[in-house]
Amino acid sequence: MLKKNRAASVMGLAAVASLTLAACSEGGNNAASDVEGLAETTGQLQGEGATSQQRAMDLFATLFEETGSTLSYNATGSGSGQTQFIAGTVAFAGSDSALKEKDGKDQVAEAKKRCSDNDAWHLPMVVGPVAVAYNLEGVELSLSPATVAEIFDGKITKWNDPKIEEENKGAKLPDKDIKVVFRSEESGTSENFMKFLSAAAPEQWTHEASKSFPTATGQGANGSAGVVDEVSKIDGAITYVESGFAKDKKLGVAKLDFGNGPVELNKDTVGKALDKVKFKTEGHDMVVDSDALFSMKEDGAYPLVLTTYEIVCSAGYDDQTRDLVKNFLKVVLEKGQTDELEKLGYIPVQGEFKDKLSAAVDAIK
């Protein structure tokens, strides 16, 4: 069981620690000695980024403590994490989306400069399905991507709209306004959700995907915890959020129908989608082809999945920072991919996917 007091204290470090990484070269791997290849370095590792990873990071921080080191992960959102990584104030960024051109700047080039002229790698360490979560007592929803797109674009505004009724025959849908809740800050979850809508319902969703959700419909809330808190307070509300947050608030989670019947969000349906994952990049930089993933129509697959990254330098760290980064990622892969992670709403990585990640971690210089 995750020790909440320990995790909370680790997360609290982010509020009081400086944004520099402090490390000391001291021996001893203690309880994590069964993880092969750990360097004899302990200290404090600093990361920042996606709130979607926060619960996983709480668990990973607890495991990392067993090596004699600590993790301070500041869950401020993917945009902020990328900014702080590029600035060199944190060792890695947690991000729901890859580096790219942003505000006229080439983030990939900037990250390479930060890494002492070495490439930054995207390592999809944390995999979490995204739920279309709602607060509508007594109703089990099934929605097509097209209907989801029209709801979040403000074109469908009532729960008893004929399109929703057609997809939920026999359900008692109330004559009630739909209240859309979206992420108010820059968010990789928002960007990926919009990419999903563009890929799965291109005729209904014409907005360009970005970390900022269109504000013409609904109201914003900060962070993954913020949107589920807001939805839980509003009868008739709906949002997009990582499934673990939706489960904790006991919100309804819509089944999605991609043309082969409604698909429930669970380990098996997400697993079917992950089996088909393709990468845009080669080698150890593992940027997922999200367009191919989100447009998937595999029978029984749930492709609305966040393959969230730890963005790291492939080389260019000082020795102590490099050792801490590699130690942490090895602990994540060898100790963190468990049933406990699944209980938190994530899907443990396994098989060839995990082997590819392990090879990338070993290759960090």
pTM of the model: 0.74
Torsion angle (degrees, nearest 10) of CA 73, 78, 84, 90: 30
Q: What is the CATH number of domain 4-128+309-363?
A: 3.40.190.10
Tokens of 193: 């959700």
pLDDT, tens digit, 9 for 90 and up, residues 100-130:
876 678 999 999 999 999 999 999 999 989 9
pLDDT, tens digit, 9 for 90 and up, residues 11-34:
443 333 333 333 333 444 444 557
Tell me the average pLDDT across 339-359. Answer: 90
pLDDT computed for residue 165 by the predictor: 97
4-128+309-363 and 129-272, same CATH topology: yes
pLDDT, tens digit, 9 for 90 and up, residues 223-277:
999 999 999 999 999 999 989 899 999 999 999 999 999 999 988 898 888 888 8
Domain boundaries, the chain: 4-128+309-363, 129-272
Tokens of 52: 């979607």
Q: How confident is the model at residue 212 (pLDDT cuts 50, 70, 90)?
A: very high
Q: Is the pLDDT of residue 299 over 90?
A: yes
- The correct CATH number of 129-272 out of 1.20.120.330, 2.40.50.140, 3.40.930.10, 3.40.190.10 is 3.40.190.10
